[in-house]
């Protein structure tokens, strides 16, 4: 088990910052979002960066939380609820919102994506003020991850499957 509280603390500070940004964008679209507890069509088995993986493992251990066998769509999903909700990774925190990503061949051109269950009546005009800039958040997350990997004593894969969290608890 990795024991590096400094990186876990830095990661969860980043998560708090990301949650703030997410909340700001949510407020701009409150009446158009269908996202609610128990709605889990967006949940699917996913992999995360090592810093996310081990921060989640560490937080679950600290809080004495166990994972029960989950659903086919995501091993963390049980009875339509996320078993790691408080500690879920960035990608899950942003589910459903209008997200802006740069295109690989043109970093100035942003793609916007959002859950098709949201904005069902009318798709608003998206501008940089009402979408979540994922490039900014991902850059910060990748930097945290690189620092963590450098400090890690041993080899780590680029990404780690969330379903393997149970093996570390
Ligand atoms: S980790 Fe939780 S929020 Fe993320 S896909 Fe799985 S069940 Fe859904
Ligand atoms: S993103 Fe879509 S599927 Fe996921 S909770 Fe929101 S409305 Fe439901």
Say if pTM beats, i.e. exceeds, 0.85. Answer: yes
Buried b (16+ CB within 10 A) or exposed e, 76-108: bbeeeebbbeebbbbbbbbbbbbbbbeeeeeee
How many Cβ atoms sit within 10 Å of the Cβ of residue 19? 13
Smallest CA separation from ligand 2 atom 7, residue? 35
Q: What is the mean pLDDT of residues 73-102?
A: 96
Say if residue 53's pLDDT is above 60. Answer: yes
DSSP output for 39-77 = --TT----EE-HHHHHHHHHHHHHTT-------SS-TTE
First-last CA distance in the chain: 9
Q: What is the mean pLDDT of residues 122-126?
A: 93
pLDDT digits (tens, 9 = 90+) for 1-50: 445 899 999 999 999 999 999 999 999 999 999 999 999 999 999 999 99
Q: How far is the CA of 162 from the centre of ligand 1 (A)?
A: 9
Residue 96 near residue 35, CB atoms below 8 Å: yes
Q: How far is the CA of 84 from the centre of ligand 2 (A)?
A: 17
Q: Quick one: which atom of ligand 2 is closest to the CA of 116?
A: 2
Q: What's the residue count for the chain?
A: 169
Domain ranges of the chain: 5-96+136-168
Q: Determine the pLDDT at residue 153.
A: 83
How many Cβ atoms sit within 10 Å of the Cβ of residue 24? 12
Q: How far is the CA of 140 from the centre of ligand 1 (A)?
A: 21
Structure tokens at 69: 């066998």
Q: Is the CB of 35 under 6 A from ligand 2?
A: yes
């Amino acid at each position: 088990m990795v024991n590096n509280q400094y990186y876990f603390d830095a990661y969860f500070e980043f998560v708090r910052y990301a949650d703030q940004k997410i909340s700001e964008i949510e407020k701009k679209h409150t009446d158009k979002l269908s996202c609610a507890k128990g709605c889990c069509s967006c949940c699917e088995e996913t992999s995360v960066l090592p810093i996310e993986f081990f921060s989640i493992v560490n937080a679950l251990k600290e809080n004495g939380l166990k994972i029960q066998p989950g659903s086919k769509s995501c091993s963390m999903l049980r009875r339509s609820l996320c078993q790691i909700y408080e500690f879920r990774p960035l990608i899950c925190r942003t589910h459903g919102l209008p997200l802006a990503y740069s295109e690989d061949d043109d970093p100035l051109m942003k793609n916007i994506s959002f859950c098709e269950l949201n904005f069902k009546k009318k798709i608003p005009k998206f501008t940089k003020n009402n979408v979540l800039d994922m490039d900014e958040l991902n850059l910060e997350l990748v930097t945290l991850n690189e620092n963590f990997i450098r400090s890690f004593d041993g080899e780590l894969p680029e990404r780690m499957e969330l379903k393997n969290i149970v093996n570390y608890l």
